[in-house]
Copies of this chain bind each other. A is one copy, B any other.
Amino acid sequence: MSKSRRDRQFRPVAVPDVDVAGFFGKWQDAVCDSTAETLLDRCVEAGMVQAINVDQPSPGVVIPILEWGGSTQMFWDSDLGKSIETIAYSLYRKPNPRLEERADAIIDLYEKLQDQDGYVNAWFQRVQQGRRWTNLRDHHELYCAGHLMEAAVAYFQATGKRKLLDIMCRYADYMIRVFGHGPGQIPGYDGHEEIELALVKLGRVTGETKYLDLSKFFVDERGTEPHFFTDEAERDGRDPKSYIQKTYEYGQAHLPVREQKKVVGHAVRAMYLYSGMADIATEYRDDSLTEALDDLWDDVVTKQMYVTGGIGPAASNEGFTDYYDLPNDTAYAETCASVGLVFWANRMLGRGPNRRYADVMEQALYNGALPGLSIDGKTFFYDNPLESTGKHHRWKWHHCPCCPPNIARLVTSIGSYMYAVADDEIAVHLYGESTVRTKLACGAKVTLRQESGYPWDGAVALTASLTAPVRFALSLRIPEWAVGATLSVNGQILDLSGIVSDGYARIDREWTDGDRVALYLPLSLRPQYANPKVRHDAGRVALMRGPLVYCVEETDNGGDLNAIVMPKSLPQADIAVLRDLNGAVALDITVEREETSAWGVALYRTTPPERTVTKVRLVPYHLWDNRSPGSMLVWLQAEK
């Protein structure tokens, strides 16, 4: 890749600059109609709103303090933050005065809560007043602040109301005074990353580089020696060696970030850190960060990622384990972790379009993150196994309610992941029915209308609306799987080989109002085999169509799904459109199936099961457990 390309800076468009319809429009409607209000209701029920209301007595310790020295109640600000962020996006799509009033009231409470010096935190102002900034390693203090900052930016962009933005700017200004290497300052960073990416959002929306500088400080300090967490523990009278997570890898603080090569520890923390690093790499054109990020990217996508884009197989550390350790039935693969992978991938596009990142962004979005939400927006997956015996179902809520608002805010802000803009270039990273309005550096306003039934259909049409002809590059992702893709401008076929770079077709021309680009991405069914080092997928095959991983469910196919055997050469699939799954495309294929009924009663015998030819129905993995509950399987036995 040429240096010059990397010197461009792509930033996502603001959420209100994209109108989303089609596939993601329905998901956004579900959040607007159900999830957004549900999130707030649950926060109120949990006591989170009382917790920030200085006119009411402090609720005290509602959730007990655990072995690690804290309580998940310490994260309440983050839950409120992510809920307000979701509400903000939903208000843009569907005005809802009652919901807006409720959000405004919470913001008023935060205004009253805010300390004279700018500090805002429900736990350390109302429960453990003396403990401010005493344990950054464990207490999630800056993490909470980060989520409130993201909420502030979203609420400002959606409603034009500045109050929360002003609160969080005051808080960030206070942080600038508190953190640093000067006398009396704290030379530290948070155990749970998040503030880094949030400060970049704050910097971008306010135009204040001081917030970017603070983010860069947190990124640069992380993992350096002498180790801040060790010094901090000693100052606080705690034994640094008795750290419950045992290793600073848990929070990616084991090495300076530029020296990190292996993706380790808590998966969400890792994704948030790398997201912040990528933002800083873009804003500061920092090649040293970009190189470290490329190593980390390779590490996760070639050794530690489920075919769904799920990451972090283990519940014990909510994170990464050994290379190629990808158990299917016990996969943790937290919804939040795939949401985080989407965040990171999106930010890796800051220095130029590249399908190496965007293909995985799409894969994790559709198959790792989206399963976290039911189609009615009312129930939530926390962990996302690739095989279920029928006991895994979405929750109404979760004792650690991080995932519901995380997937909800991603879905409602999806427009800003679809399009990104540099000075003279518009990149289309994701396809789907939508309209984007943006302005180029030259001042020209561009509106692009994208018409597509994607991901069910591979035809995409883009029409430009312009007040006057203008030259810019339009970069369109050609996914690696889209073998045989075609592209035309105003009916004229383009030779992709001449214009595709890093997997994007770059059409650099003078555009005129009404210009129409037609892209066709063949969505043929394709098998996915895992590297033979992944023992859990040995002898098995998964099926994808376009960006979607498919699975078999008991409701369509009966039980004993492991008795299904995919023929060596992939059979032709018949398409069925399922109305009860929002018009999803199901695939009916002819396979072999081991006979469970003819086997008899023995548990073991010397001859293999007999097989008969039969049909099975595959449905998109992200839609599983939306109908009759039952078993589910992604990796099917493959005939050898």
Nearest Cβ distance between residue A320 and chain B, in whole angstroms?
A: 14
CA distance A542 to B606 in the complex (A): 9
Q: Among A11-19, A138-146, A532-540, which stretch is in contact with chain B? A: A532-540
Q: A562–B535 contact, CB under 8 A?
A: yes
Please tell me which one of the listed residues B533, B563, B606 contacts residue A526 in the complex, with CB atoms under 8 A apart. B606
A322 within 8 A of B: yes
B608→A531 contact, CB < 8 A? no
Residues of chain B within 8 A of A637, CB atoms compared: 538-539, 640
| CB-based nearest B residue for A604 | B528
A565 close to B640 (CB less than 8 A): yes
Contact: B532 with A602, CB < 8 Å? no
A603 contacts chain B at the CB level, 8 A cutoff: yes
A609 within 8 A of B: yes
Chain B's closest residue to A534 (CB) is B603
Interface stretch of the complex, out of A45-53, A280-288, A593-601: A593-601
Query: Max chain B CB contacts within 10 Å: which of A302, A327, A604, A639?
Result: A604
Pick the most buried of A542, A594, A638: most chain B CB atoms within 10 A of its CB: A594
User: Bound complex: CA of A322 vs CA of B329, how far in Å?
Assistant: 15
A530 partner residues in chain B, CB cutoff 8 A: 603-604
CA distance A595 to B327 in the complex (A): 21
With a cutoff of 8 Å between Cβ atoms, the chain B residues found around residue A538 in the complex are 562-563, 594, 637
Give the chain B neighbours of A533 by CB distance below 8 A: 560, 563, 596, 599
Among A298, A329, A560, find the residue whose CB has the most chain B CB atoms closer than 10 A: A560
A529-B563 Cα distance, complex, nearest whole Å: 13
- Any B CB within 8 A of the CB of A301: yes
- Beta-carbon contact of A529 and B609 below 8 Å: yes
Q: How many copies does the complex hold?
A: 2
Q: How far is the CA of A325 from the CA of B562 in the complex (A)?
A: 13
Nearest residue in B to A298 (C-beta to C-beta)? B601
Given that A322-B389, A562-B538, A640-B565 are known contacts, is A529 also in contact with B305, CB under 8 Å in the complex?
A: no
A607 within 8 Å of B (CB atoms): yes
Q: How far is the CB of A541 from the nearest CB of chain B, in Å?
A: 7
CA distance A353 to B128 in the complex (A): 72
Closest residue of B by beta carbon distance from A526: B606
Answer yes or no: A3 CB below 8 A from chain B CBs: no
Cβ of A605 < 8 Å from any Cβ of B?
Answer: yes
A303 sits at the interface (CB 8 A): yes
Chain A 592-628, CB-CB to B under 8 Å as 1, else 0, gives 0011100101111111110000000000000000000
Q: A322-B389, A539-B637 are in contact. Are A532 and B599 (CB under 8 A)?
A: yes
**Provided the pairs A322-B389, A563-B538, A565-B539 are in contact, do residues A603 and B531 lie with their beta carbons within 8 angstroms?**
yes
Q: Are B303 and A532 in contact (CB under 8 A)?
A: no
B528 touching A605 by the CB < 8 A rule?
yes
Known: A322-B389, A532-B595, A596-B532. A606 touches B560 (CB 8 A): no
Q: Which residues of B contact A402 (CB under 8 A)?
A: none
Task: State whether A305 and B532 are in contact (beta carbons under 8 Å apart), knowing that A637-B539, A638-B608, A640-B639 are contacts in the complex.
Answer: no
Considering only CB atoms, which chain B residue lies closest to A535 in the complex?
B562
Q: How far is the CA of A526 from the CA of B604 in the complex (A)?
A: 12
Q: Judge whether B604 and A531 touch: CB under 8 Å.
A: yes
A527 proximal to B (CB < 8 A): yes
Decide: A604 and B529 in contact? CB cutoff 8 A: yes
Q: How far, in whole Å, are A362 and B183 apart by their CA atoms in the complex?
A: 75
Interface residues of A in 421-447 (CB under 8 A from B): none
Q: Which of A282-336 contact B (CB under 8 A)?
A: 298, 301-303, 305, 307, 322, 325, 327, 329-330
Nearest residue (CB) in B for A598 is: B532
**A606–chain B nearest beta-carbon distance, Å:** 5
How distant is A515 from chain B, measured CB to nearest CB, in Å?
Answer: 35
Interface residues of A in 527-571 (CB under 8 A from B): 527-535, 538-542, 560-563, 565
Tell me the complex Cα distance, A526–B607, Å. 10
16 A-B pairs in the complex with CB atoms less than 8 angstroms apart: A301-B603, A307-B603, A307-B604, A325-B389, A327-B329, A527-B606, A528-B605, A529-B606, A532-B562, A532-B595, A533-B599, A539-B539, A539-B540, A539-B565, A608-B638, A640-B640
Pairs A-B, 3 closest by C-beta atoms: A535-B562, A538-B562, A532-B594
Instruction: Mark A residues whose CB is within 8 Å of B.
Output: 298, 301-303, 305, 307, 322, 325, 327, 329-330, 387, 389, 526-535, 538-542, 560-563, 565, 594-596, 599, 601-609, 637-640
